[in-house]
Amino acid sequence: MTSDNDRRRGLLGRFRRERSAPPSRGRRRLGAAVRMIAALALAGGAYTLFAPGVQAQENPPLTGAAAEGKALFDVSCVTCHGRNAQGVEGRGPSLVGVGAASVEFQVSSGRMPMARQEAQAARKPPVFTDEQTRQLAQYVQELGGGPIVPEGDLQRGADLAVGGELFRINCSQCHAFAGGGGALSSGKYAPSLAPASDRQIYAAMLSGPQNMPVFGDNQLSPEEKADIIAYIQQTLKADQDPGGFNLGRYGPSTEGLAVFFVGIVALVFTTLWIAGKS
């Protein structure tokens, strides 16, 4: 026990002796390193304080339209999408990088501002004017960039036959052959395309809302998008059921079933009529 204590004191003593000795080379090096780090930190701090570029990147100056958009955003969207549109856990996603196209689609179709949490934001009459919608879109665009719907005629030079082909390949599995829409899993649905404007169709393809895939310009070129838009607007919407009833537009099976029942009823009445004659 005592020898153990002695040994411990001995160790401590040696340590103390070493500490009071003039600084070793290792300690001098350590001191130099600490001073160096302190100097670097000071220089870095001074740089961030005085360099103009660094602060400008944190808060980029907004153009006039975007500043108007931010004012609207801070009133109507900030509760769910957060300050500077960075998103709020459990309420709304970040909008940094979604682009003007996504905002234009969501706001012009009345989906945003969302009224309450639900499986899917539904189309509603829009809350904002076209002007305000563009301002909101401009704000989000200047925050983080992203896809933009081009200006001008979005059906220019379109080929309806190609549009129909592209629509059947890319869109009909969700929106049905006639664009009437249909149910997807867990309370979600692909809506009817009937109320969509040219710009909304373009924006939907660019932004891929909810379960819809994004059709960027690599998937469908701007010309192919024009073909699809023209097909939806001119062919699908103009197609006012030349045969009379559309039977829910479910295709040949319902039509076949309908013809079958009508035919059976007609046959039964004919047989009854013949039986009554004889």
For residues 108 and 130, is the Cβ–Cβ distance under 8 A? yes
Task: Determine if 114 is a binding residue for ligand HEC (CB under 6 A).
Answer: yes
Q: What is the residue type of 104?
A: E
How is residue 23 written in tokens?
């600084």
| Cβ closest to ligand HEC, residue 66 vs residue 114 | 114
Which of 149, 158, 201, 206 is in the footprint of ligand HEC by CB under 6 A? Answer: 201
How is residue 79 written in tokens?
């509760």
How is residue 89 written in tokens?
């856990």
| Cβ closest to ligand HEC, residue 208 vs residue 246 | 208
Of the candidates 157, 152, 175, the residue with the CA atom closest to the CA atom of residue 232: 175
Q: List Cβ neighbours of 94 (8 Å cut-off, separation of 6 or more).
A: 81, 82, 85, 86, 87
Between residue 40 and residue 99, which ones bind ligand HEC under the rule CB under 6 A?
76-77, 79-81, 91-93, 95, 98
Nearest approach in angstroms of CB 243 to ligand HEC is 25
For residues 159 and 145, is the Cβ–Cβ distance under 8 A? no
Between residue 119 and residue 178, which ones bind ligand HEC under the rule CB under 6 A?
120-121, 123, 136, 170-171, 173-175
How is residue 99 written in tokens?
């682009």
| Cβ closest to ligand HEC, residue 212 vs residue 247 | 212
For residues 212 and 191, is the Cβ–Cβ distance under 8 A? no
Cα–Cα distance, 133 to 126 (Å, whole number) = 9
| Cβ closest to ligand HEC, residue 42 vs residue 119 | 119
Cα–Cα distance, 211 to 111 (Å, whole number) = 15
Between residue 88 and residue 107, which ones bind ligand HEC under the rule CB under 6 A?
91-93, 95, 98, 102-103, 106-107
Which of 31, 44, 45, 195 is in the footprint of ligand HEC by CB under 6 A? Answer: 195
Task: Determine if 209 is a binding residue for ligand HEC (CB under 6 A).
Answer: yes
Name the site residues for ligand HEC (rule: CB under 6 A).
76-77, 79-81, 91-93, 95, 98, 102-103, 106-107, 109, 111-114, 120-121, 123, 136, 170-171, 173-175, 184, 188, 190-191, 193, 195-196, 200-201, 204-205, 207, 209-213, 215, 228
